[in-house]
Amino acid sequence: MSQRTLYRAIVILTAVACASPWQPAHADDTMRCGSKIIHTGDGKDKVRTLCGEPTDIAFVGTIERRTIPDSRTYDDQYYYGPAWSEQPVEVWTYNFGPSKLLRKLRFVGNDLVNITTDGHGY
């Protein structure tokens, strides 16, 4: 392979690498509680069991969610129920001390949908 062909291959590979969409890792999809890890999608009971009681629980309103019947529950039967239901939205705050960041967990219904950080603890 000539030096010119090698140079062209490097330029093309660099251009392809730069043009491809870069997606950062989503560190806010998980949270460590001691040696345990919780993930978005976990329920309130699992979070409370693994992380303990939150420092604060704030009810921030409701949101409408589409109700989808569970095929394992409704085997070959029709589902007659509301297509949409209101789900409570809560934000749980965990304070792990002044050397760590506050963690805010947003729940819709029973499902953990978002984990964010908010300044240093106290």
| Predicted confidence band of residue 36 (pLDDT cuts 50, 70, 90) | very high
pLDDT tens digits, 45-54: 999 999 999 9
- Confirm whether 114 is domain-assigned: yes
pTM of the model: 0.66
Q: Could you tell me the residue range of the domain that residue 38 belongs to?
A: 26-120
- Confirm whether 84 is domain-assigned: yes
Q: What string of DSSP letters covers the chain?
A: --HHHHHHHHHHHHHHHHHSPP----GGGEEEETTEEEETT-BHHHHHHHH-S-SEEEEEEEEEEE----TTTSTT----S-SEEEEEEEEEEE---TTSEEEEEEEETTEEEEEEEEEE--
- Closest by CA to 92, choosing from 65, 73, 111, 71, is 111
- Confirm whether 2 is domain-assigned: no
Select, from the ranges 6-10, 13-17, 74-78, 114-118, the one with the highest average predicted confidence (pLDDT).
114-118
37-56 average pLDDT score = 95
- Confirm whether 102 is domain-assigned: yes
Q: Is the pLDDT of residue 100 over 60?
A: yes
**What does the pLDDT read at residue 23?**
45
- Per the prediction, the chain carries an average pLDDT of 80
**What does the pLDDT read at residue 6?**
66
The two three-digit tokens of residue 85, written as one number: 């239901």
The number of domains in the chain is: 1
Q: Is the pLDDT of residue 70 over 50?
A: yes
